[in-house]
Amino acid sequence: MAVVGKAVKRKEDPRLITGEARYLEDIKLPGMTHIAILRSPHAHANIVSINSERAAAVPGVIGVFTGQDFMDVNPLPCPWPAGGVDNNLNTPRALEVEKVTHVGAGVAVVVAEDRATAQDAVELVDVEWEVLPAVTDAEEATFDGAPQLHENAPNNVCMEWDCGDQSGTDAALGSSDVVVKQRLRNQRLIPTPMETRGCIAQHEAVNGEYTIWMTSQAPHVHRLLFTAFIFGVPENKVRVISPQIGGGFGAKIFMYPEYVLTTALSKKVGRPVKWVETRSENYIATTHGRDHVTDVEVGANRDGTITGLKVRTYANLGGTLSTVAPGIPTTLYGRMLSGAYKLPNIYCHVTGVYTNTGMVDAYRGAGRPEATYVVERAVDLVASELGMDPVEVRRKNFVPADSFPYEPSGNLLNGLSYDSGNYDKALDMALEMTGYEDFRAEQAAARAEGRYLGIGLSTYIEICGIAPSAWMFGEGWGAALWESANVRMHITGDVVVTSGSQSHGQGHETSIAQLVADELGVSMDQVHVQHSDTLGTPFGYGTYGSRSTAVGGVAVWRSLQRIKEKARAIAAHEFEANVDDVEYVVNDEGVGVVQVKGSPDQSKVVGEFMGIATSAAGGWDLPGDMEPFLDETAYYDPPDCTYPFGTHICIVEVDAETGNVGIKRYIAVDDVGKVINPMIVDGQVHGGIAQGVAQALWEGAQYDENGQLVSGSMMDYAIPRADLLPSFELGRTETPSPNNPLGVKGAGETGTIAATPAVVNAVVDALSHLNVRHIDMPLTPSRVWETIQSRSNGGNS
Amino acid sequence: MKLEGTYLFGETREQVWSTLMDPDAISSAIPGVEEFVPLEGEEYAWRAIAKVKMAAVSGRFPGQVQMSEIQPPTSYRLTVSGEGQGSIISGSVVMRLEEKDGGGTVLHWDAEANISGKLARIGQRLIKAAANMMSKRFFGNLARQIRAPA
């Protein structure tokens, strides 16, 4: 009868597929006003003057405001500067006042009775600009003579950060049999959720309270930033509600200028204010992801043992810092560069750089896809240099299954350790599913016919359940990262769980209900999971970093244990038995009962009307020292993160004539620890692979030399389509995490982390007979074709 | 964005030149021009409004047109700037006339255009094609006016 581990259909889906779900755009308040934001058309410019007379005169316009009108509102905070180093912080304001550093920065706003009027009137705001030269490449921005964006950031450097062992790595590279060097570009991506961002704010002047509906992955964090950092008001004055969210991928974690602007305006105009981002705005005003330029050096001995890995990365952070921008290319990138391998020497140096581009922050995987790309490409480069099979190089260097917990060398993880793993097992399963040896024969035969088949592996690991508060504090994060949950069993026996984490597609309402149903012995229908409203839920840090189950789920589990203890105590009183003699068991029918050990006739159902739930909630007959109600709150701050792993294998055919890459097969074996709902995990893996493949082959934000985003619409920016992808072949191993009582690790990002290098490795493998060792992403037909042409003409990489 | 091309006129260089220097001819040759008024005190500069439709952006762009580097009867630079619909267009084209052996005139043009804002983001791939089409229309319009002087 247990439901954990079963592919239970999602409780949230009926409202989603019938159209009953309410998104931000569906919300309309009496007296609501609408805004349009004037955004900079220039990548780098001083604001000389703004004249809003013409716009203000348009009928239906309530007011036109500029940055000067919001000088009493603090600039947005950056609560995660890179840890342990100086950061030259520059964050946006609600509207920029003196200068803009990227196309799309807001400089004025029109408030009007309706959206169309606001959008028409904003065209009539006249801005006099002093246009400045722009720089968009992170490395070039650090060169002498490059345009300077911020006074406090010489050479546009936000921070220099490093990890690992520099001298040890240099020495190891110096004494290795071979050293392979490669420059790798991890191109900028635009998250492109189906629903763009939005915000509705209402201010009640009488009590000074704000209610803010917003597209938020982390409502409590948003409230924290609004109250403590931006407006300087206490928590009870701000209620943040996140309605149904149409995809976030990380981009909806952050505090954005528009949220602050909308909220501040609601007080200024004394009416509710609504802002909904247009698709066009989404490309320039919502955060982007990735954008690294990396030089990697990897040393190895002839037998395939990797001796050292040295990584030098320029991370493009955009014109100003988004909320956790510096933390992503440092902690979540550098510290993951040991991958699945026992590398004796690792060193990573990251320069975080301002450029005249949109803000860059966490995007699905956040740092780990970039790290995995470096490591998995490096391993293939070693294999290619030594003429070894990439499978053998991987096996040779894997962290052995008996070495866990494993602490990467050089204090790379700053005190944390990989929790558990069996990397060979996942690799074996994936190779078996693929028919690896048969493929190599097929590949050789195809080559003889002039057909280019290739296979690529990615034996990734990642870090999930992002937490230990103390560790994250040491990494520069300015808050904590525990989670909390409240569980209440009502008088009817139904259970309401409120959680500080938030669901925007992950299926919390189902997987948490599965946990509760099994633990308490109630039906799935009796469990109601509520989230996304700061008024009705305990504090939580939100949903990202695949942490909802590994951290938030454990907080629920802890509450459930307390509920069970109290149910036993109440039952002991009813049975006139000693509490130690009363047990809470879930019987063969899946019904939770309390009973006296060894005398099953003294037993009572817990989760039903007139069951223990009713005894507790009614409280008519309780001992004097016992409080009524089965209502428990628990907090959970784990001792370490969790470390999922697996093997992804991609088989491609490269069209020698056109350079087009076709994916023939995609095999993914993931180990995400204990699985609560395999269907939900499969869904996460599917979507993740699609996004990871898309980075390898199609996606890429493009700026021109003036800092104009030229891939700013769905006509110009590629996103993956189902018809471009094969049916994925999924497998799974299950290695529980010892770091939490559920044994779970996290499954939200494995696909994006693993897929990208698997695809690139496959394409390079397909062209290896032409001496191709690397091609930068995206591997578009023209880029691949040009590579084939240059090699066919006798060139060498 | 750089664009270049040539256009062949059947007329003599002097005929083409005089049309190129005629503000009325220029204003009616630029596609979509609705207003073309001399700037006060300027011989070779005009205030203009053009209606433009490119990719998903359409609307009126108020701006300026200016002639400079005038070297009769061979070449000059035409500079255009406009702003509207959340976009800024600026650019200039150098037109150079060359007499063709056996009659007629070859016009070589070299243009540089900068597009900012919404227009830059939407349908960038279409802009070059659209700009080429507009230049064809511009010279085609000019050619018609040379053949049928007002």
Question: Mind listing the pLDDT tens digit for each residue in A182-193?
Answer: 999 999 999 999
The tokens describing A1, both together, are 């009868």
Amino acid at A733: T
Contacts of A470 (CB under 8 A, 6+ apart): none
The tokens describing A649, both together, are 């294998």
- Higher-scoring residue by pLDDT: A599, A473: A473
With an 8 Å Cβ cutoff, are B116 and A123 in contact? no
What pLDDT score does A624 carry? Answer: 83
Q: Which of B1, B56, B85 sits opposite A123 (nearest CB)?
A: B85
Specify the CATH architecture of the domain A289-414+421-466+640-792.
2-Layer Sandwich (3.30)
User: How many domains does chain B fold into?
Assistant: 1
Distance from CA of A710 to the nearest CA of B (A): 4
> Reduced to 3 states, what is the DSSP secondary structure of residue A719?
coil
Question: Using the 8-state DSSP alphabet, how is residue B120 labeled?
Answer: H
Using alpha carbons, select from A361, A354, A358 the residue that is nearest to residue A147: A354
Average pLDDT over residues A382-410: 98
Per-residue pLDDT band at B83 (split at 50, 70, 90): confident
Residue range A513-560, pLDDT digits in tens: 999 999 999 999 999 999 999 999 999 888 888 888 999 999 999 999
Q: Is A65 a residue whose pLDDT tops 50?
A: yes
Residue range A200-240, pLDDT digits in tens: 999 999 999 999 999 999 999 999 999 999 999 999 999 99
Distance from CA of A103 to the nearest CA of B (A): 7
Per-residue pLDDT band at B136 (split at 50, 70, 90): confident
Q: Is A130 a residue whose pLDDT tops 70?
A: yes
Q: Is A663 a residue whose pLDDT tops 60?
A: yes
Average pLDDT over residues A63-87: 97
C-alpha span between B78 and B68 (Å, rounded): 7
C-alpha span between B110 and B92 (Å, rounded): 8
Average pLDDT over residues A669-693: 97
Lowest mean pLDDT among A33-42, A92-101, A416-425, A613-622: A613-622
Residue range A243-272, pLDDT digits in tens: 999 999 999 999 999 999 999 999 999 999
Paired residues of A577 in beta bridges: none
C-alpha span between A57 and A59 (Å, rounded): 6
Amino acid at A12: E
- Which chain A positions have a beta carbon within 8 Å of B124's beta carbon? 710-712, 716
Distance from CA of B48 to the nearest CA of A (A): 17
- Which chain A positions have a beta carbon within 8 Å of B114's beta carbon? 706
- Which chain A positions have a beta carbon within 8 Å of B91's beta carbon? none
Q: Is A149 a residue whose pLDDT tops 50?
A: yes
Q: Which of A41, A704, A716 sits opposite B125 (nearest CB)?
A: A716
What pLDDT score does A797 carry? Answer: 46
Per-residue pLDDT band at A474 (split at 50, 70, 90): very high
Give the strands of the sheet with A599-605, arranged side by side.
A582-586, A592-596, A599-605
C-alpha distances in Å from residue A542, one per residue of A58, A250, A293, A504, A642: 42, 11, 30, 11, 17
- The CATH number of whichever domain residue B139 belongs to comes to 3.30.530.20
Per-residue pLDDT band at A477 (split at 50, 70, 90): very high
The tokens describing A723, both together, are 């018809």
CB A352 within 8 A of CB A321: no
| A289-414+421-466+640-792 matches A13-20+32-132+196-245+252-285 in CATH topology | no
Nearest CA in chain A to B125: A716
What pLDDT score does A139 carry? Answer: 98
Distance from CA of A110 to the nearest CA of B (A): 14
Specify the CATH architecture of the domain A13-20+32-132+196-245+252-285.
Alpha-Beta Complex (3.90)
- Which chain A positions have a beta carbon within 8 Å of B121's beta carbon? 280, 283-284, 708-713, 716
Mutate to test the interface with A, among B121, B124, B125, B126 (most CBs of A within 10 A): B121
> Reduced to 3 states, what is the DSSP secondary structure of residue A509?
helix
Return phi, psi of residue A645, to 5°: -155, 180
Q: Which of B1, B118, B124 sits opposite A280 (nearest CB)?
A: B118
Using alpha carbons, select from A593, A590, A594, A559 the residue that is nearest to residue A580: A594
Angle between helices A750-766 and A368-386 (to 10 degrees): 30
- Which chain B positions have a beta carbon within 8 Å of A709's beta carbon? 120-121
Amino acid at A383: A
Return phi, psi of residue A602, to 5°: -95, 85
Q: What is the mean pLDDT of chain B?
A: 88
Per-residue pLDDT band at A793 (split at 50, 70, 90): low
Lowest mean pLDDT among A338-347, A396-405, A594-603, A642-651: A594-603
Instruction: Report the share of chain A in percent with pLDDT over 70.
Output: 99
Q: Is A276 a residue whose pLDDT tops 80?
A: yes
What is the DSSP track for A358-373?
A: --B---TTTTHHHHHH
C-alpha span between A289 and A363 (Å, rounded): 5
* Angle in degrees, CA A363, A366, A370, rounded to 5: 110
Q: Which of B55, B117, B122 sits opposite A41 (nearest CB)?
A: B117
C-alpha span between A120 and A113 (Å, rounded): 12
Residue span of the structural domain in which B6 resides: 2-147
Q: What is the mean pLDDT of chain A?
A: 96
- Which chain B positions have a beta carbon within 8 Å of A283's beta carbon? 121
Q: Which of A123, A708, A711 sits opposite B116 (nearest CB)?
A: A708
What pLDDT score does B89 carry? Answer: 86
Specify the CATH architecture of the domain A482-636.
2-Layer Sandwich (3.30)
With an 8 Å Cβ cutoff, are A39 and B86 in contact? yes
* Domain spans of chain A, in order of start: 13-20+32-132+196-245+252-285, 289-414+421-466+640-792, 482-636
